[in-house]
Amino acid sequence: MTHSIHDVGHRPANSWTGLLSLGLMLAVVCLGFCPQSAFSADKEKGQQISRVIAKEMTAAQKDLQAQQWADALKNLDAAEAKSGLTPFDQKTIAYFKGFANVKLGNLKAAQASFEKSLATGAASAEDKASITRTLFGIAASTNQFQKTIDYGKEMSDAGSATPNDLAIIAQSYFQLKDCKSAGAWVDKAVAASRKAGEAPKENLFLFKLQCASDAGDNAAMVPVLNELIRLNNKSTYWNTLLRIERQEERDDHNTLMLYRVMYDTGAMTVGSDYIEMAQLLGDAALPAEAQTVLEKAINGGLIKEEQKERTNRLLNSFKTRADADKKGQAQLNAEATKNPAGELDVKLGEVYYGFGDYQNAVTAINRGLQKGQIKHQDEAYVYLGRSQVALKNTAEAKKAFVGLKSVPNISPRVLRLWELYAETLGR
């Protein structure tokens, strides 16, 4: 069974929201090359508008400065109709027309004008870079994915592309259903963001996640989900990740470990998971914790009508066993204290945890770890870490989870997930 990200609402946005807005695109148009500065900038390079269109161009420039866009276009059309225009004349007229059309929201006409301006070959290197960026913005905002890619690659090759530009290129490939290229540009955008000291955009990882999901490739989804969890620690990503990991797990001991991660990250969303976790806890002689898990599911309205009879029967059984554990705590404590091995201390700590007595859980488990001779060291470190989390001792909790690395023969999957959990603590 594969897991689609559609099931948990992770599908990437089909619009450019979060990557490019029209307002940003308009700002790009005026980046270092605006009508009011065009004449003076080019004069410094020895290029000037021909006298034959001086009157029309002066009027057009005044219209642009006064934000009279339609009037500017009339004067520019008049200039364009004159004969004997130089390439520089043609480049400037086309650029001004593009600028005016952007302001009027006529992006198709603006694009044609800017492309014509470039085609004259009269644009300086600086002007060409500015116009290319403008065309990139227009293409992106009008969903011309291939043109967005083409202009974006020009900027990338020139070294002027920002992390956001690279993200837009990645999204363009994604929209064209070219997952291989989308993934490559996602990696470039993520690397550029981190180099700039910025957090990568969530959408970038969603492109790769959707591609892997559509291909039914759970193995490819796992590392992307890990990155998303590191980025924002959303329980929905934990849910998808843990369902994939649990699907591959066959050992009950390790399955319960995965359920603990799912429970602690708020990623457990269906009643059947709570029921199975509670049963595994009961099998592990932890009825108080099993009781807590079931009560959370019941109080959260997650138990279906057809599950209620069985759930209540289990709950009553766990309550009876938990009461017996409560009465026997003092005796278990005495036996554990005297025993030279740490197994009973750890079990006592797990019992304390189930009753919400986290400080005593920490004391008992630490004592057991110091003694050694523990059957399931992985559980000892996990319950020590969970107890410290409950006590809001984040640094100590992380230290406890680090201890899992020293456990012989620990499941690599279990180790990886608890390490990921530990990374998110304190955020």
Query: What integer is the mean pLDDT of 401-410?
Result: 95
Among 327, 343, 375, give the residue marking a domain's end: 327
pLDDT band at 66 (very low <50, low <70, confident <90, very high): very high
Strand, helix or coil for residue 236: helix
Which helix (H) or strand (E) is 90 found in, with range?
Answer: helix 87-103
Answer whether residue 6 is part of any domain: no
Domain co-membership, 98 together with 55 = yes
Total domains present in the chain: 3
In a domain, 257, yes or no: no
Residues 71 and 179 in one domain: yes
> What does the pLDDT average to over 216-224?
95
The verdict on residue 197 lying in a domain is no
Verify that 350 and 407 share a domain, yes or no: yes
Distance CA 374, CA 111 (A): 71
Do 172 and 45 reside in the same domain of the chain? yes
Q: Could you tell me if 285 and 412 lie in one domain?
A: no
Q: Over the stretch 137-196, which tens digit does the pLDDT of each residue have?
A: 999 999 999 999 999 999 999 999 999 999 999 999 999 999 999 999 999 999 999 999
Residue range(s) defining the domain that contains residue 181: 22-185
Inform me whether the pLDDT recorded for 73 exceeds 60.
yes
Same domain, 63 and 180: yes
Cα–Cα distance for residue pair 99/95, rounded to 1 Å: 6
Residue 144 three-state SS: coil
* Domain shared by 284 and 396, yes or no: no
The domain boundary residue, chosen from 284, 312, 327 = 327
Say if residue 109's pLDDT is above 90.
Answer: yes
Domain check: are 314 and 371 in the same one? no
314-319 contacts at long range (C-beta below 8 A, 24 or more positions apart): 314/275, 314/278, 314/279, 314/282, 314/290, 315/291, 317/282, 317/287, 318/278, 318/282, 318/287, 318/288, 318/290, 318/291, 318/294, 319/287, 319/291
The answer to whether residues 53 and 164 belong to one domain is yes
Instruction: Give the residue, 17 or 314, on which the prediction is more confident.
Output: 314
- pTM (2 decimals)? 0.80
| Same-domain status, 314 and 373 | no
Residues 73, 98: Cα–Cα separation, whole Å: 9
| pLDDT at 358 exceeding the cut of 60 | yes
Whichever domain contains 353, its CATH number is 1.25.40.10
pLDDT at 426: 84
Do 310 and 275 contact (CB within 8 A), yes or no?
Answer: yes
Tell me what pLDDT residue 248 has: 84
Whether residue 222 is contained in a domain is answered as no
Torsion sign, CA atoms 204, 208, 209, 210: positive
pLDDT band at 284 (very low <50, low <70, confident <90, very high): very high
Which contacts of 13-20 are long-range, i.e. CB under 8 A and separated by 24 or more positions?
A: 13/203, 14/175, 16/140, 16/141, 16/143, 16/168, 16/171, 18/201, 18/203, 19/140, 19/164, 19/167, 19/168, 19/171, 19/201, 19/203, 20/137, 20/140, 20/141, 20/164, 20/168
Mean pLDDT of 230-259: 94
Residue 193 within a domain: no
Q: For all residues of the chain together, what is the average pLDDT? A: 90
User: Is residue 200 included in any domain, yes or no?
Assistant: no
Report d(CA 261, CA 254) in Å as an integer: 11
Residue 75 in any domain: the answer is yes
Q: What percent of the chain shows pLDDT beyond 90?
A: 86
At residue 366, does pLDDT exceed 50?
yes
Residue 143 lies inside a defined structural domain of this protein = yes
Nearest in space to 400 (alpha carbons), one of 355, 369, 426, 374: 369
**One domain for residues 286 and 363:** no
Please tell me the predicted confidence (pLDDT) of residue 19: 53
Average pLDDT in the 6-15 region? 50
- pLDDT at 78 (0 to 100): 97
Which of 185, 212, 233 is at the close of a domain? 185
Query: Residues 158, 279: one domain?
Result: no
